[in-house]
Amino acid sequence: MYYQMGLSGDRLNSSDQPKTVVIDTDGEVIFYPNFFNIQESDRLFSALHSSVKWRQDTIYFYGKTIPLPRLTSWYGDEGKSYTYSHIQQHPEPWTPTLTSIKLKAEKISEITFNSVLLNLYRDGKDSVSWHSDDEPELGKNPIIASISLGGTRRFSLRHKTSKDSQIDIDLPKGSLLLMKGETQHFWKHQIAKTAKSVEPRINLTFRVIKPF
């Protein structure tokens, strides 16, 4: 079966925020479309776009150095380092803007995060390929709060062993996608490239890095 998720999905109103359950099998993914309103989303996008220390990282692939198809940055508590796509990341210290977003994400996630990975997708050619956030530093069954600002991009989830299990969901500005339980064990996710004209997008994934 092929699902097209949109704002018309099942809506549960157990909290003050409208939410949609995207996955409830082999993990849990919950979508909050209006986590930030449009005005607040635009303000945060501008603030982060101009102030974050964006980096062009590279990966080493079959003997070649390849630039990642997006800019990234890593902020977090001092002393937390993290390996992402074989890149050792040292966090920048929290800024007031990032701390304010973190506090709001923590309230809804009911967990204290100690780091955030930011991605800047400059246009439709920027992407992140199929992966799970299953690095050992994240521990078993990590809770990841993923916030979208700027242009809408399509996020896809695919079960690792069930065929035809792809779920697509467009992530508009101001939305929050919460991934928890066994999601990273059973599912992969991606942001595919698109030929459509899209505005730049910033994604923030708040995470908990465990001590080694």
Verify binding: residue 133, ligand AKG, rule CB under 6 A.
yes
Least separation in angstroms between residue 43's CB and Mn ion is 25
Least separation in angstroms between residue 146's CB and ligand AKG is 5
Determine what percent of the chain falls in helix, strand and coil, rounding each to the nearest 5: 15, 40, 45
Q: CB nearer to ligand AKG: give 46 or 129.
A: 129
Q: What is the dihedral of CA 12, 15, 21, 22, to 10 degrees?
A: 140
Tell me which residue of 104, 96, 115 sits closest to 34, measured CA to CA.
104
Verify binding: residue 199, ligand AKG, rule CB under 6 A.
no
Tell me which residue of 101, 186, 185 sits closest to 145, measured CA to CA.
101
| Cross-strand partners of 153 | 171
Tell me which residue of 76, 71, 121 sits closest to 95, measured CA to CA.
76
Beta carbons of 48 and 100 less than 8 angstroms apart = no
- Give the one entry of Mn ion, ligand AKG, none that residue 155 binds, where binding means its C-beta sits below a cut-off of 5 to 8 angstroms depending on kind: ligand AKG
Verify binding: residue 128, ligand AKG, rule CB under 6 A.
yes
- Give the one entry of Mn ion, ligand AKG, none that residue 191 binds, where binding means its C-beta sits below a cut-off of 5 to 8 angstroms depending on kind: ligand AKG
At 116, the amino acid letter reads V
Kindly write out the interface string for residues 106-145 of this chain, putting x where it contacts Mn ion by CB under 5 A and - elsewhere. ---------------------------x------------
Q: CB nearer to Mn ion: give 57 or 133.
A: 133
Q: Which residues bind ligand AKG (CB under 6 A)?
A: 117, 119, 128, 133, 146, 155, 171, 189, 191, 203, 205
Q: Which residues bind Mn ion (CB under 5 A)?
A: 133
